Amino acid sequence: MRLKYHFNLPPESDVILRNRTITTYYAQLYQREPSLYKWAGMAAFASFHIGEKLKIWDWEATPIKTLSETCKKKNKSLEDDFQIIRIINNKIFSEIGTALLTFSQIEYHVFRNQLILERKNELIIEAFDKLQEARIKMQNDTVDQETHDLVWEANLQILWHEQYKVVQPLFDKLSLVFSGAMSIIASFDYRIHHKQTNWRLASRFILFMFSKGFKVLLHNGILPDVTNIKHRWFWISSDLFVKWKSAESNKQLITEEMQILSSLELRKLDILTHIHQKNT
């Protein structure tokens, strides 16, 4: 399977630069096809926020470790936990960012067969089926509310796949102390520099769970835990995703924010975004 364009990432050892490049690519994917790639837009903000947290650690004095190296230890150090967060950032991009780039460049039946050969989860294949259906409708200028709903449904499925299949197995490897600290500081904002932000654009995990998520806590542990998939998914699906849909409808806001995010590093996605394909 030959692609005309491949991502050009810095080495894993250059942690902050690599994160900034990943953020840049997410934003550019969204800019290329904002009517389809809702997940990529949200991921650009998420990657930016992860990058801000990664800056806490001194990576210049820290050699890169593999996941197996960090998991061999019974008692994980703070460094091990940061290594896992770094790995999560890379793995999400490798798993989903690369799939979106491929989806944008080749005929869909070839792409779908590749997903099957790689034994991808049925849910992610179903999500791309929906994106393909919506893409064909858009190419034929038959866009209606049903098409828009289909796009959002597909992107929510991609988001669930990301959280359940990619993130959760790695979150399970974090130390309890680090998980607790993450739960306290976890936040999200659709203004990346937090200027002129408000409750419509920003969210704090612990505050949301103690208010809107109290019933979830009663059934799944009384203390909010961002590494608990039930807690985290309730926050993401009921707050972050809803706010993303609202923020994304504000074209001026998102255009300004994406311009910043897409320019963090000097990269350019030189790909065709309107591929006339038959649905198979």
pLDDT at 1: 54
Q: Write out the H or E segment, with its range, that includes residue 17.
A: helix 15-32
Bridge partners of residue 187, in order along the sequence: 204
pLDDT at 271: 63
Sign of the torsion formed by the C-alpha atoms of 31, 34, 37 and 43: positive
pLDDT at 268: 86
d(CA 40, CA 46): 10
What totals of helices (H) and strands (E) does the chain contain, helices first?
15, 2
Q: What is the pLDDT of residues 227-246, one digit of tens each?
A: 999 999 999 999 999 999 99
pLDDT at 71: 80
> Taking the complete model, does pTM exceed 0.95, yes or no?
no
Residues 6+ apart with CB under 8 A from 261: 23, 24, 26, 27, 44, 45, 48, 192
Task: Locate 9 and state its tokens.
Answer: 């990432």
pLDDT at 273: 44
pLDDT at 221: 79
Contact between 218 and 176 under an 8 Å Cβ cutoff? The reply is: no
d(CA 193, CA 234): 25
Question: How does pLDDT run along the chain (280 residues), one tens digit per residue?
Answer: 567 777 999 999 999 999 999 999 999 999 999 999 999 999 999 999 999 999 999 999 999 999 999 887 778 899 999 999 999 999 999 999 999 999 999 999 999 999 999 999 899 999 999 999 999 999 988 789 999 999 999 999 999 999 999 999 999 999 999 999 999 999 999 998 867 788 899 999 999 999 999 999 988 878 999 999 999 999 999 999 999 999 999 999 999 999 999 999 999 887 644 443 444 3
Task: Locate 55 and state its tokens.
Answer: 């800056």
The amino acid that residue 26 corresponds to is Y
Contact between 98 and 114 under an 8 Å Cβ cutoff? The reply is: no
Contact between 247 and 200 under an 8 Å Cβ cutoff? The reply is: yes
d(CA 239, CA 47): 18
